[in-house]
Structure 1
C-alpha cells in the first residue's frame, strides 16, 4: 500500500473498500471519492481507511484506527485549546511577566485558533513567516514534502510542525518571544512529584561511593529501570494534565495529596512492573557500556595523535597562525589538540542522554548521569534538550535549570505512619529533602565545571527521523559519534529511531534503526504509540487479545540496545564552530567533546 494518490481499481470492488465511496461527510477530512470504470487509473484525493496502520507503512493520519489519527484529530487540538484557555485565564499575569499588551495576547490566541482549525480540517501546511535560517530550512522541508497536509504526511512531521508553528506565534510577537505556553504545567508536574524525588535521592547517595563490580552493575541496571518508568510522566500523553505516580506504579493525573497517603517507592515499582517490561537489555547495557568506557578511557589517556595540518589552515600554507577565540598572551603555547572535525578519539569519556520529559523524568536522567560520573565509568555527560517548548513537557535549558534550583532549595518533610507492629505502634517513616539538596548541589558543581553539558541543537526540533540525521545535520551526528553510548528517552525519540515505520513487532532493534549507529544506541521507552520492534514471537498478539489499545497506555516498557557504532573518521571539512577557518592542530579545546 502506498501513500500516493494514484489507485487502480474496479469500481464494483472499490465501492466496498473501507474509506472508499463513502458519501457521508464526517468532516472535511472525509471527502467524497469518484471512481472511474473498470481497470481505469484515476487521480483522486488521499482516502482515509477505517483500519490501523498496515505493517511496514509509515505512521500517518490516513488510518482512522491508528494512534496517529487519534492524536491529530483528538489530542493535539485539545492541547492547543488548553493553551488558548491558559492565555485567556491568566492573560493578566502573562502580560505582567512578559511586559505584553492585550493586543499581543489576542494576536497569539487568534494565531493558535487558526492553527487548530487548519489541523482539524486537514488544510495544507502554511509556510513559516519568521525570517531565520532555521525557519527557512523548515520551509524548504515543507515545500519538498510529497504530502504537505496534516493527515496525509507522516505523523511525526505534522506533530513537529504544529509545535514549531506554536513557537512561531511567540516569535512573531514583540513581547512573547520568551513565553513558554507549557511552563506552568511543567512546574506543577515537578512539584507534585517532589516526594518521589526525595525517595530516589535517598537511595542514590548509597550508590555513589566506589563499589565492587557486581554492585556497580546492579545499581546501573536499577537506575536504568528507574529512568524507564519515569517516562510514564508525559504531559503530551495526558494532554497537558499534570501526572504523578500512585502506590501501584501507575501514572495518574495529579491530585492533592493527603497526609496519610503511602510513600511511593519507585524501587518497589521496578519489581511490581517486571512483567510489563517487554524487552530488558539492561544487563547487557551495563556490561558493554562499562567495558567500552574503560577502553575509551585508555585511548583518551594515550599520547595525542599526530594528525596532518588540516587543508586550508594557516599552518599548512606556511603563514603565521591566525588569532583564535582563545589566543593566549605572548609566550604561552596554544593547546595541542586536533580539530574536532579531524579528531578520531574524543578528549574525554562521554555518555550522551537525548532527553524527553522534564520534571521527575529529567531528575531520573540526571541520577543516571551522576552515578556514571561518580563511579568513574565516564568523565562527562551531555544532555541533549530542546531549544524551544516542545511536545508539552519536553526539556528545555530553562527546565533543566529549574530542576536544579528546585532540588537545591527543596524543604520537603513528611511523616508517614507505619503499619502497627505486633508489639505496638511502629516508628513513623520520615521523608525529607536532605539528600535531594545534597545531590543537587553536586549537580550544580558538575554544570559549573563542565562535567555535565546541556546542549540544544536545532535537529532535535526538526521533523526528521534519525536514520536521516547524517543527511540533514551531519554535525550533530558527528557529535554523537564521540559518545561511549547514546541513551534515547521516550516515545517521540523511539518513533524517530524506528523511522516512524510500523515494523513487524518481532523485527530486531538493530534492523529497525536502519543504519543509525553513530554510537551504541540505548532506547528507554514506555509504549505510548502503535509502533514497536524486538518483541518475542507471539507477545504482540497475546497483549492485543487482552487490550487492543495496549500500545497507547504507557503501561508497558522497553529497554533496548544496539552495540554497533560507526567508526569515527576524520572529516572532510572543518567543524562549524569557527566559521570557514580551520585552525588544524592548534584548534581551541572543545569542552563538549
Structure 2
C-alpha cells in the first residue's frame, strides 16, 4: 500500500485519506519509457459495499467498516487527546501522574491516530506480558498487516488494545480509563430511565404464574435490546439519548421517557423476534437441569452436587472442569456490551431470572480493559451497582388534565407523578448481596478483548469455551458480539443464525443487538431489499434490532485437554472451591 498523508479541514470529523506523500512515478521502478510518463497504480480501496460472504474490511468504500476507520475511530482518538489536554490536572491528581506522563500518552495516542488514518502497518506491542506476546504472534501471522486492508474487527480490537498499552507503558497511568468520564456521564443522563424501570421491575419479582412470568421475561429481553442503543462507540463518545418529545431525546419538565412504552413504539423496528421461543426453551431446559441437581444425593461426575439453596461461596469442591459433563448450578450467562443504562437493564433481567427461580446463578462476562469506549469492565460493573445504591433522584411530573364532557364539572386535577430513586436503591442493595454471595459472578477473560471471532474460541480459549458449555443459555449483547458471532462475514441476510455461527455451539445462543454495522442474518425474504430502498444507511444507525436464538448445542463431554489452571498436570477429582461453575 502506498504511503498516505492526513489532510485536515478544520474539524476532527473531516480526517481524509489522501495518497501519496511521495510521487511514486518518480521512483526508478515505476519509470517506464522515461521520467515524464506517470503510471497509474491500482488502489486497494474499492468503491463498493461489502460483497456477500466476504469479511468486513476498510477496503470497501461504501461499507460501514471504511466509514468507521476513516471517521469514527479517528474522532474517538482525537477526543482522548482533547480530554487529556483539557483535564490533565484532574488526571494528575487522581493517578499521581506528572506532566510528562500526560504528554507521553498524548504523543502515543497521536501516533496511533496518524498510523490509522495513513494506513500504516500494525506496530508490535512493546509491553512484555503473555497476553501481549500472543497479540504479537497474531500480528506476525497476518498476511495483511495494514489498518484498512485487514479484517475490520482485527483493526478495531488492535486500536483499543494499543490504547491500553499506552497506559501500561506509564508508571502512573496503569489504571487510567480514557473513557471513564464519558461512561459516568452517560449513566447520570439515564438516571430517570433507571428509576422508571426499577419502579416496574419490583412488581415483576414476586413469584408469578406461568403466563405472567413468560410475559415479563419477554418484556425484559426487549428492554435489554433497546438499551443497546446507548452505545458510545457508535456515537464517537457523544451521549446517546433514547426517545422523547424534544429534539435531543431528553426528558423535559412535562414529559416522561418510558422505556416500556418504547418497546411498543419500536415494535415494527424489531426485525427478528425469537423472544417467545427463547423463554419457552430456556425455561424448559432450566427446569430439566434443576430436577437433575435436586435429585437426592445424586453423584455428578464423581462429586455430590451442591443443593440449590447452598450459596456458591460455601459449595463443596467441584470436579475438575475437564472431567465434568453436568453443571453444578443452573446458570445463565450474559456476555455484556455497554456499561451504564444497558448494564442496568442486564442486571434487571438477571434479577428477574433469579427471583422467579428460573436459574440459580448469573455469570456476567465483561472486558478486562477499557474497550470500544463504553464496554463494561469489572470496575464499571461495581461502579454502576454502587452508583445505583447511592442514587439520589426525585422529580414531580404534572399529570395531563382530563377534559370534562360538555356541561360536566371538570374533575379534580390528579396529583403529579413522582419519579424517585427509592426502588433503584433497593434493587442495588439486593444486587450487592447477589455479588457477595456468588449468585452474580463477574468474569473477564482475555479472549473477549482478542481480535478473534467466536468460531475460533475453542482453538484460542478452550477453557472459556468449556466454561460456557455449562450455561443453560448464552445471551450475547450488542453489535461487536454479533459481528464476532457471525465471524465478521457479510452473510446473505436470509441466512439462519445456526449456519452463520459456523460451528460455535457451546450452549444455546441468544443474540440481542441493535443494528450498527452492515451485516445481519435471519431476515425474512425481501426485508433487506425493502429497508435498503427506504434508507441505504439503515444498518449503521442503531434504529432497528434483532433478538435471535439458536438452540443447537455441542454435547458436553469429557474434554480432550487439561484445564488451563493446572497446565499439563490435573489434580483429579477436586480442583478446589470455585464460584464460576
TM-score, L = length of structure 1:
0.87
Q: Does 1:427 align with 2:422?
A: no
CA distance in 1, matches of 2:347, 2:415: 32
CA distance in 1, matches of 2:463, 2:336: 19
Q: Output one character per residue of 1:427-450: Cα deviation in whole Å (capped at 9) or x when no partner.
A: 211101111111110000000000
Q: Output one character per residue of 1:464-515: Cα deviation in whole Å (capped at 9) or x when no partner.
A: 0000111111111111001000000000000000000011111111110001
CA distance in 2, matches of 1:348, 1:81: 46
User: 1:282 maps to what in 2?
Assistant: 275
User: 1:371 maps to what in 2?
Assistant: 352
Cα pair distance change 1:170/1:253, threshold 3 Å: farther
User: 1:382 maps to what in 2?
Assistant: 363
Cα pair distance change 1:234/1:35, threshold 3 Å: farther
User: 1:273 maps to what in 2?
Assistant: 266
Which segments of 5 or more consecutive residues in structure 1 lack a partner in the other structure?
A: 6-23, 37-43, 309-327, 329-333
User: 2:444 maps to what in 1?
Assistant: 456
Q: Does 1:526 align with 2:519?
A: no
User: 1:26 maps to what in 2?
Assistant: 18
Structure 1 counterpart of 2:497, from 475, 499, 509: 509
CA distance in 1, matches of 2:514, 2:443: 24
CA contact (8 A) 1:99 1:175 kept: yes
Q: Does 1:304 align with 2:292?
A: no
Q: Output one character per residue of 1:343-390: Cα deviation in whole Å (capped at 9) or x when no partner.
A: 011110000000000000000001110000100100000000000000
Q: Does 1:233 align with 2:221?
A: no
CA distance in 2, matches of 1:358, 1:424: 43
Q: Does 1:262 align with 2:259?
A: no
TM-score, L = length of structure 2:
0.89
CA distance in 1, matches of 2:126, 2:260: 49
CA distance in 1, matches of 2:456, 2:219: 33
Cα pair distance change 1:188/1:30, threshold 3 Å: farther
User: 1:315 maps to what in 2?
Assistant: none
- CA drift of 1:579 comes to 4.5
User: 1:400 maps to what in 2?
Assistant: 381
Cα pair distance change 1:504/1:92, threshold 3 Å: same
User: 2:37 maps to what in 1?
Assistant: none
- CA drift of 1:426 comes to 2.3
1:197-208 alignment runs, 5 A limit: 197-208=194-205
Structure 2 counterpart of 1:571, from 539, 543, 559: 559
- CA drift of 1:301 comes to 2.8
User: 1:318 maps to what in 2?
Assistant: none
User: 1:585 maps to what in 2?
Assistant: 573
- CA drift of 1:121 comes to 0.4
CA contact (8 A) 1:29 1:122 kept: no
Q: Equivalent residue of 2:441, what SS? A: strand
Q: Equivalent residue of 1:55, what SS? A: coil
Q: Output one character per residue of 1:251-289: Cα deviation in whole Å (capped at 9) or x when no partner.
A: x8676x64x141111111000000000000000000000
User: 2:308 maps to what in 1?
Assistant: none
Q: Which moved more, 1:406-415 or 1:44-53?
A: 44-53
CA contact (8 A) 1:335 1:587 kept: no
Alignment RMSD: 2.5
Q: Output one character per residue of 1:36-94: Cα deviation in whole Å (capped at 9) or x when no partner.
A: 9xxxxxxx876210000011110000000100000001000000000000000000110
CA contact (8 A) 2:320 2:574 kept: yes
Q: Does 1:136 align with 2:145?
A: no
- CA drift of 1:339 comes to 1.1
- CA drift of 1:31 comes to 10
CA distance in 2, matches of 1:253, 1:355: 27
